Amino acid sequence: MDRAKCQRHRYRACCFALCDGAVNWKDVLADKAAWDTVVWFGVIISLATGLTSLGFIKWMSAGFASMLTGMDWMTTFILLGFAYIYLHYVFATASGHVAAMYVPFAAVAIGAGAPPLMVAVCFAIFSNFMWGITEYAGGPGPIYFGQGFFERPRFYKINFVLVTASVIIVFAVGMLWWKIIGLY
């Protein structure tokens, strides 16, 4: 089934649920967590789209490449890895982040001398870590966050610590393993 047809089926199902009385409009309006999610996604998607269309991503990648010129590949690779993770705060979703940043960051790391396979694997792992860094990073995040178990500052602090620890573990264990298997 093509995307447009699938979307029409969803609209019909929603309309049927409203018309049939299974869901009433007051219930829809009362779901504050859902509306909070919709508003935040709209704002953040607009921001990410604007940054990309204005050439910010290309400019930032070129800036990273020029700042890191002259450093050894290991330092460059580690700095880019951390930057790749934490720049996620300016993107609406992990998919948008990966689409905009993976190739330029990988190209800078490989250009500095990092082994291509190691760069590809490491950035792929980090692309999964981003799902935990913000409540809007991936599919289920807004739903979990919207339940109200955590206030936003506490949520960010906890996830910042967890993601940072995970990145350090990947670099420490990964670099040792990749050295043992001969990737560098």
Q: Which strand (E) or helix (H) includes residue 163?
A: helix 152-180
Average pLDDT over residues 63-75: 86
Q: Which of 84, 121, 127, 88 has its CA nearest to residue 104?
A: 84
Distance CA 143, CA 169 (A): 28
Helices 73-86, 94-111: crossing angle, 10 deg rounding = 170
Three-state DSSP class for residue 22: coil
Joined together, the tokens standing for residue 29 give: 């309006």
The pLDDT of residue 155 is above 70:
yes
d(C-alpha 100, C-alpha 86), whole Å: 14
For residue 72, what pLDDT band results from cuts at 50, 70 and 90? very high
Region 24-29: mean pLDDT is 77
Look up the pTM and report it. Answer: 0.66
pLDDT of residue 119: 93
- For the cut 70, the answer to whether the pLDDT of residue 10 exceeds it is no
Q: Say if residue 1's pLDDT is above 60.
A: no
